[in-house]
Amino acid sequence: MSLGVKEEASEGAPDTRIKHTFARLKGQGRKALISFITAGDPGPEFTVPGLHAMVAGGADLLELGIPFSDPEAEGPTIQAANERALAKGITLKKVLAMVAEFRQQDTQTPVILMGYLNSILAMADFAEQASKAGVDGLIMVNLPPEEGHELQTQLAANGIDLIYLIAPTTTDARATEIMRNASGFIYYVSLKGVTGTGSVLADEVGVRTSGLRAATQIPLCVGFGIRDAQTASALSQHSDGVVVGSVLVEKLAAGGDPATACHALKDTIESIRHGLDQQD
């Protein structure tokens, strides 16, 4: 595989929380742990404490889902999370307010919003509002780079990275193009499927991600189907970090008050963190 885009790395771009975090981890020889929950699930009072709990458990970056009525790339777990959050009246405006509240106590941990384009289209000044709230990145599941230039430009002007995905089915030529336009980090989708389902073949993923990593200076993280320390550790061998989502959402769905749920989140993150830090 020859993917020659290394020279394209965005030198001279302003320092961001995302860049700073990956640089720090690299210096420590550690892998990034990115943890996902859906904003407002199972109720608005869970989200900000949940974000802090995940940081306390060892998460390096936080991914917060914007609830959407038609989350077409999600498995049953995160679909249900979306429905619970929407039933509580969560809107994008409220999601941004949650990020702003989180930022009052944590000014360092990057926060990345994840969701579907129609949510963003409904807020004309999203980039400015998100920047003001303290958002660092945006993952749009249904926005490939071909359609993403306009939004990426608006976001960049507000210091927010649009994070693109690469899938097992993405050709090398296309991956090169995606990495050329990438900002923040690359999200490698570990399996053909929806979130939280299927079993990840770590060796297969490793072959692909090591090839991709050799061709870019942008960090590459792996997500979809990572439920435990062992898988996280295996996938981190050939990546800069892993994304964990559905297993955390299950903890929130299990019931109990926010304090109990936050404990469960923290414990789960700690165990995965431990697995990641143990390798080699």
Partner 1 sequence: MSEAFDGNNYAQPTQDGHFGEFGGRFVAETLTHALDGLATLYNDMKNDPEFRRELHHDLTHYVGRPTPLYFAQRMTAELGGAAVYLKREDLNHTGAHKVCNTIGQALLAKRMGKPRVIAETGAGQHGVATATVAARLGLACDIYMGEEDVRRQSLNVYRMKLMGARVIPVSSGSKTLKDAMNEAMRDWVTNVDDTHYIIGTVAGPHPYPMLVRDFASIIGQEARAQMLEQEGRLPNVVVACVGGGSNAMGIFHPFINDTDVDLVGVEAGGHGIASGAHAAPLNDGKVGVLHGNRSYLMSDDDGQIMETHSISAGLDYPGVGPEHAFLKDIGRATYSSATDDEAMQAFRMLNQREGILPALETSHALAWVVANAPLMSKDDIILVNLSGRGDKDILTVADIDGITLT
Interface residues toward partner 1, by CB under 8 A: 68-75, 79, 83, 86, 91-93, 116-123, 141-144, 146-147, 164-171, 174, 189, 192-194, 197-198
Q: Which is nearer to partner 1, 189 or 269 (CB)?
A: 189
Give the nearer residue to partner 1 in terms of CB position, either 49 or 97. 97
Rounded to whole angstroms, the Cα distance separating 210 from 240 reads 10
Euclidean distance between CA atoms 224 and 239, whole angstroms: 14
Report helix, strand or coil for 131.
helix
CB burial of residue 42 (10 Å; 0-12, 13-18, 19+): buried
Q: What is the secondary structure of 134-173 as a DSSP string?
A: T--EEEETT--HHHHHHHHHHHHHTT-EEEPEE-TT--HH
CA atoms lying within 13 Å on the CB side of residue 56:
13
If we measure between CA atoms, which residue out of 252, 256, 254 comes closest to residue 269?
Answer: 252
Give 86 or 253: the residue with its C-beta nearer to partner 1. 86
Amino acid at 104: Q
Q: How far is the CB of 140 from partner 1 (least distance, A)?
A: 9
- Residue keyed to tokens 């990275």: 161
CA distance 130 to 136: 8
Is residue 157 within 8 Å of 130, Cβ to Cβ? no
Give the residue with the Cβ less far from partner 1, 45 or 70.
70
Smallest separation, CB 204 to partner 1 (Å)? 14
Q: How far is the CB of 276 from partner 1 (least distance, A)?
A: 25
Least distance to partner 1 from the beta carbon of 269, Å?
26
For residues 92 and 98, which CB has a smaller minimum distance to partner 1 in the complex?
A: 92
Q: How far is the CB of 256 from partner 1 (least distance, A)?
A: 25
Nearer to partner 1, 16 or 142 (CB): 142
